Amino acid sequence: MDKMVKKVEELAKKFAERLAEEGYYPDIRPGYKLNMGPEALAITCKKNKDDRIAPTISITKDHVLAIENGRTTEEDYFVEGIEIFRNAFESEQYKNSSSVARAIEKFENRDDFLEGIAAFIYNHNVNKNPGFVHKKLNDELSVMVRYLVPEAEGSIPITKAQLEHIGVTEKELFETAIKNSPVINPPRIVSMNDILRQKGCWMPVDLRGLEKFLVINTVNCEQGAVAILYNGVADAIRERLGEDFFIIPSSLNEVIVLPISMLEERKVDDLKAMIMDVNKTVLPSTEYLSDRPYVIRDGRLEELAG
C-alpha cells in the first residue's frame, strides 16, 4: 500500500474516533466515489443515528502534509473539522434537507403519502419534467402533484416510479390532490387595497378601483397560482366582484383577476403585450407561468379571446 494512502487512512480513522467521542455518527468512505481523487477519503457524519442526511468533508494528502510540515496540528485539524460539522447541522439547508428526507420516508406508507399531496400549476413548455406526474390543461399549462413539506417550506414532485412503488394510480393521485389542496394549501383572495394597507400604505378611499383588483394565491404563497382552479374559488371571486372576471397569470406564485367589464375586446392584444413585457423584464424566469390572459368557463381554464 502506498505510504501516503496509509497516512490518509490513519488520519481519517483518528478523526472518526474523535467525532464519535463528540456523540456523532461518522462513517469513512472511499473518496474516489465522490470524485475526490484516489488518495482521498470522505468522512460523512450524522447528528443522530437514524438521520437520512449526512454532511461530508474530505481528508486528503494535503491535510496529512499540512500536519507533517507543522502548518497545523492533528488537534487543530480535528477541532476545525468538528466545527464544520456543527455549523452544517445548524444550517437551514441541513434542517430543510432533513425535513425532506423525513417526508420521503412517508412515501413508504400509502395513507401518509396521500394525506400530504397537493396540486400545483406550471408551464410544461418551459419547465420540462417528463419524469414527474402531470396532467395537461391545455397546450402550455399542466397540473403537477407534489408532496408538501411545511417545515422545509417546500414540496417534492411525484414521479411515476414512486406511484408504482406506493401502489397509487394517477387517477387516484389527482383526485386526492384536488380534494386535499384547499385544506392543506388553502386559497387566499386579497385586493390590491388590502395589500397596500398591509404594507402601511393607508388610503381613506378605494384608489382607482383597486378594491376590485384581486390577487389570488395560497396561504403559504409558494406556487399558489393553482388556487384559481380550486373548487369554489371562481364563484367566490364572481360574488365579490359582482360580475365575471379575467385572469392575468402573473407568476407561479399568484394570479391577478380583474372584472371583465374593465376589458374591451380591442384591448386583449394590448393586454397580452403587457403580460409578455412584464414576464420578460420583471419576472424571474423560474417563476414564469404564461404570457396569455385567461378566463374560467364551466370550471375550465380557457384563453381569453380577443
- Average pLDDT value for the chain: 81
* Arithmetic mean of pLDDT, 149-177: 80
**pLDDT tens digits along 8-39:** 899 999 999 999 999 988 888 775 444 445 56
Angle at which helix 74-90 crosses helix 61-68, to 10 degrees, equals: 140
Residue 149 near residue 103 (C-beta atoms within 8 A):
yes
Instruction: Report the alpha-carbon distance of residue 254 to residue 283 in Å, rounded.
Output: 12
Burial of 305 (0-12, 13-18, 19+ CB in 10 A): exposed
Task: Find the range with the poorest average confidence among 123-132, 206-215, 248-257.
Answer: 206-215
- C-alpha cell at position 256: 391577478
Taking the whole predicted model, whether its pTM rises above 0.75 is answered as no
> In the chain, where are the structural domains located?
3-90, 106-184, 187-303
